[in-house]
Structure 1
Amino acid sequence: MKNIQTFLLMLFFTNCYSQYVFEKKAVPEKVSLESFTEIINAEDEVLDIQEVILKFDQQEPKLKASIQKYFGYTNDNFWAKVAIQNKTNQSLNYLLSTATPMTNLVELYIVDEQSKKIKKIVNGASLNYSKRILASNEVLFDLSINPDTNLDLYIHYSTTGGVVAIPMELYSYESFYKNTIQKKFINGIFYGLVIQFSLFLIFLYFAMRGAKIVTLAFFIFLSGLIAFMLDGYFSVNFNHESGVFLNNIFLLILILTGLFLGKFGELSLKIKKNNKKLFYVFQIFYVLNISLFPLQCIFKTHFALFLILSNLFGFILFLLIGFALLTFKNRKDKIIIFFVLGNISLFVGYLIYTLKIYGILDSTTVIESSTKISIALAMILFTIREVVYLFRLRILKNNLSEKALIKAQEIKDLKCYLLCNISHELRTPLNVIMNLNRDILEKNIDTSINKKCENIQNSSENLLNSINDILDFSKIEKKELKLDNLAFNPLQTLTRIRKTQELRVTEKGLKFNFSESEGFPNLVIGDESRFSQIINNLLNNAIKFTSVGFVDFDIKSKVIPNNKVRLTVSITDSGVGIENEKIDRIFDSFSQNSIDNKRAYGGIGLGLYIVKSLIDMQGGIVEVKSVLGKGTNFKISIDFDIVVQSQMEIVAAVPAVYDLGGKSILVVEDNKMNQMIIDVITKKWLNTKVLYVNNGQEALEAFETNHFDIVLMDLQMPIMDGYEATVAIRDGEAGAHNCNIPIIAVTADVMETTKNRVKEIGMNDYLSKPIKKETLYKAIKKLV
Structure 2
Amino acid sequence: MKFILLFCLLSIGLYAQENAYNLEESSNKLYNFAEFTATDKPELLIEEVLNSNLEFTPLTSDNHSIGFTSQSFWTRFKLFNPDSESKTYYLQTARPITDIADLYQISKNGIEKFSSGDQIPFNERQVEHRETIFKITLPANTTQQFYLHLASDGETINIPLDIYSEFDFWVMNYKQQLFLGLFYGLLFLAGVIYLFFYTSLKEKTFLYYGLYVFSIALMQGALDGLIFQYVFPKGGFINSRAVMIAALASNFFLLKYCEYFLKVKQRTPKIYSVFKGIYIFIAALFVMVFLSEKTLELTYPIANLNGLISLVFILATLFIIRYKKIKIDPYFSIGIFFLVIGLLGFVMNNLSLLPNNFYTLNSAKFGSGFEVIFLSLSMTNLIKRLRMEKEKSQVLALKKSEEISKLKTYFMSNMSHELRTPINAIMGIAENQLETNKSNTSRKNFEIIKNASLSLLSNVNDILDFEKIEKKELKLRSEEFNPSVVLNQISSNWKLEAEKKGLTYAFEMDYNIPTRVKGDKERFVQIINNILNNAIKFTIKGGVHLKLSCTQQPNDLSRFSFVVSDTGVGMSDDMKENMFDSFNQMKHDNKRQFGGIGLGMTIAKYLVELFNGTISIESSEGKGTKVFVELPLEVISKPKEESFLNVNQKDPLKVLVVEDNVMNQMIMRKLLGSSEHINFAVAQNGQEALEILKKDVYDVVLMDLQMPVMDGYEATKIIRSGTLGQVIGEIPIIAVTADAMQETRQRVLDIGMNDYMTKPVNKDLLMEKINYCCKPKLQIA
TM range (shorter): 0.3 to 0.5
Greater RCO, 1 or 2 (C-alpha within 8 Å, sep 6+): 1
Q: Looking at CA atoms only, which structure, 1 or 2, has the larger radius of gyration?
A: 1
